[in-house]
Chains A and B, each alone.
Chain A
Amino acid sequence: MLSSTKLLGEELKVLNIGLEIFYRALKDQGIRVVHVEWSPSAKLEEELEEILDKLT
């Protein structure tokens, strides 16, 4: 409850994870937004890297 009031009535600051179209829509409304690169293959690579890190 306390935390939620930091969203409603506050300036929106958004992380967009997924479809790029939503980044543009948020940006067009003057909202501060950072687009997070994401794809299943990138995730797999990330996991692979983590595994490699553990091995070395």
Chain B
Amino acid sequence: MAITRIVVKENYYRDSLQLMKISGEVKGLDGVLEAAVLMATSTNKEILSRLGFIDPQIDKSTDDDMLVAIRASDEESASRAMKAVEEMLIRGTGPSEFERAPDIDSALDMLPDANLALISVPGDHVREIAMRLLDRGVHLHVFSDHVSIEDEVAMKRYAAERGLLVLGPGAGTSIINGKAIAFANVVDKGPVGIVAAAGTGLQETSSLLDLIGIGTAYGLGVGGNDPKEQVGGIMTIESIKVLEGQPDVEVIALVSKPPSPTVQDEILNYVFERTRKKYAVAFIGGKDVRISSVHIDRVKQARTLHSEVLLLAKMLGDDHYERALRELNVDVEGIVERELSRLEKNQRYLRGLYTGGTLAYEAQVMLGDYMDDLYSNAPIRSTRPLVDPFKSERNTIVDLGEEEFTKGRAHPMIDPMVRRLRITDEADDPDVAVLLLDFVLGYGSHDDPVGALIEDIKEARRRAEEGGRYLSVISHIVGTRKDPQSYEGSLEKLRSAGIIHMPTNALAVLVAGAVASRGSLPLQGIYERFLEVGC
């Protein structure tokens, strides 16, 4: 008979990554069947209930409390596990060789010429830390979410007056001097500079460029709010200024969801009037930008990240463009036909489970005009909102990085738990035809994003097979062969499990959409609209 122990530690905080590590270590102890150590947020309570931990103590706990839940084969193992948790909470999980400082002043004493601070503390505390660092002349990359717009504007104005950059808040990715900051891929240095208000957009663009042999010198993530009306694109324009001044940057990519109309005008006017370099503009999901004949040779636009990369290659020369076309060329029709032939009649829905927000967004932009029953927890334009983000309807694109899934938990690029549970749910729905999955490699991400899910995918397919149907799985890896995780190893895991891998997210969306719609999607039309580059 299994023993369950639940302990609530009131007003007790550790960050979600430390807790994920502790949970993993305790789960590996002898006699422990399940273990979860987490902050008592609503998302985490949902996870606990899915893991079979149901207790009134859990219901009563609040966001500021920590929950320790252990299921063990016997009393002794449960007690040993509890003791291990306590020890790890006191000791911490970081290795002792960390060069640590107790506060910012001491850190600046240790590193007086620090030129960048990477901030990932809870959003409410960011402004105070940021202002102190800006006063000391330090540029900032603010990874934290949940920073108020007022704080963001105050920090960015203050920084701009001092010639400093504030990348973020909510900046998942930057590449500075060829180095990966926060979630970023290892790419060669080269002639491209990227300004992105879309983290995974920067990762996809820089990784695809690397795949076709084009390097990125700088990728500046300005945070998703920067192009909104209230912030006014302050750091987008500051970043453009900085990249314009860099002799090693030849072409500049602007990657963003559509800015607010006035901000879009300001950014483009700046580009038209105040810059000299070449620009590839991808305001994904936005209306086409009017570019006058004076600037048309220098400023061009793309509708997806796929076509943005083709455009950048074209701007850098015919050799690059031809290689890009070769590398990104796949037999879309052949794959769709093969997958369709294996489906049962009732299977007609797509379930996209994304860890990359920009990729989930791109999927909606591409499919929105062609699927009238498309749902999402982060809906855009014609997409319908999910009533319950934890439950898919008809065709669904889920952004698992949204707040409802991450409150008190690590991002799904690091912690696969939420997606693992969701894959099982989707596979058990007999109407589902296709799972669409992204896997993001690079610094910051899980050690083995594909390996962390592969057994769940195989199990999901086994269950579907028992139900007499084939489950099509279409995937895309955002990554490079230089990333800390093995790109080839990840590909091999997918291939050996019969999972289809596409070289870009846009291609994966196209294939998945075509399969789910039973071939009724206008493949050629979508391809021309979203994946090709105009002259």
**Residue A56 is within 8 A (CB to CB) of chain B in the complex:** no
Inter-subunit contact B107/A34 (CB<8 Å): yes
Inter-subunit contact B241/A36 (CB<8 Å): no
A35 with B101, Cβ < 8 A, contacts A7-B176, A15-B114, A17-B121 known: yes
> B507 — which chain A residues lie within 8 A by C-beta?
none
A12 with B116, Cβ < 8 A, contacts A1-B245, A3-B137, A37-B103 known: yes
Inter-subunit contact B108/A15 (CB<8 Å): yes
**Residue B461 is within 8 A (CB to CB) of chain A in the complex:** no
> B14 — which chain A residues lie within 8 A by C-beta?
39
B508 to chain A, nearest CB (A): 27
Inter-subunit contact B125/A40 (CB<8 Å): yes
Inter-subunit contact A20/B98 (CB<8 Å): yes
Main secondary structure of the interface of A (DSSP, over half): mixed
Inter-subunit contact B443/A29 (CB<8 Å): yes
Q: Which of B444-491 contact A (CB under 8 A)?
A: 444, 484
Q: Residue A9 contacts which of B101, B113, B179, B248 (CB distance < 8 angstroms)?
A: B248
How big is the A interface, by class? 35 or more
Inter-subunit contact A39/B13 (CB<8 Å): yes
Q: Residue B116 contacts which of A1, A2, A13 (CB distance < 8 angstroms)?
A: A13
Inter-subunit contact A18/B18 (CB<8 Å): no
Inter-subunit contact B177/A9 (CB<8 Å): yes
Q: Residue B13 contacts which of A17, A22, A28, A41 (CB distance < 8 angstroms)?
A: A41
> B242 — which chain A residues lie within 8 A by C-beta?
1, 4-5, 8
Q: What residue in chain B is nearest A29 (Cβ atoms)?
A: B179
Inter-subunit contact A25/B13 (CB<8 Å): no
The CA of A35 and the CA of B93, in the complex, are separated in Å by: 14
Q: Which of A21-52 contact B (CB under 8 A)?
A: 21-23, 25-26, 28-29, 31-41, 43, 46
The CA of A3 and the CA of B115, in the complex, are separated in Å by: 10
**Residue A6 is within 8 A (CB to CB) of chain B in the complex:** yes
Inter-subunit contact A14/B163 (CB<8 Å): no
> A26 — which chain B residues lie within 8 A by C-beta?
118, 179, 181
Q: What residue in chain A is nearest B247 (Cβ atoms)?
A: A9
Inter-subunit contact B115/A12 (CB<8 Å): yes
The CA of A34 and the CA of B243, in the complex, are separated in Å by: 27
Inter-subunit contact A4/B120 (CB<8 Å): no
The CA of A42 and the CA of B37, in the complex, are separated in Å by: 21
**Residue A10 is within 8 A (CB to CB) of chain B in the complex:** yes
B473 to chain A, nearest CB (A): 28
- Interface window among B138-146, B287-295, B396-404: B138-146
Q: What residue in chain B is nearest A33 (Cβ atoms)?
A: B99
A18 with B98, Cβ < 8 A, contacts A3-B163, A7-B115, A36-B103 known: no
Q: Residue B111 contacts which of A17, A18, A21, A34 (CB distance < 8 angstroms)?
A: A34
Q: List 5 A-B contacts (CB under 8 A).
A: A3-B163, A13-B115, A17-B117, A17-B118, A25-B182
Please report A residues at the B interface, Cβ cutoff 8 Å.
1-23, 25-26, 28-29, 31-41, 43, 46
Known contacts A7-B115, A21-B17, A36-B100, then 16 further A-B pairs from the complex at CB < 8 Å, ordered by chain A residue: A4-B163, A4-B165, A8-B242, A9-B246, A15-B104, A15-B107, A15-B138, A17-B117, A19-B120, A22-B143, A25-B180, A35-B100, A36-B103, A37-B100, A39-B14, A40-B122
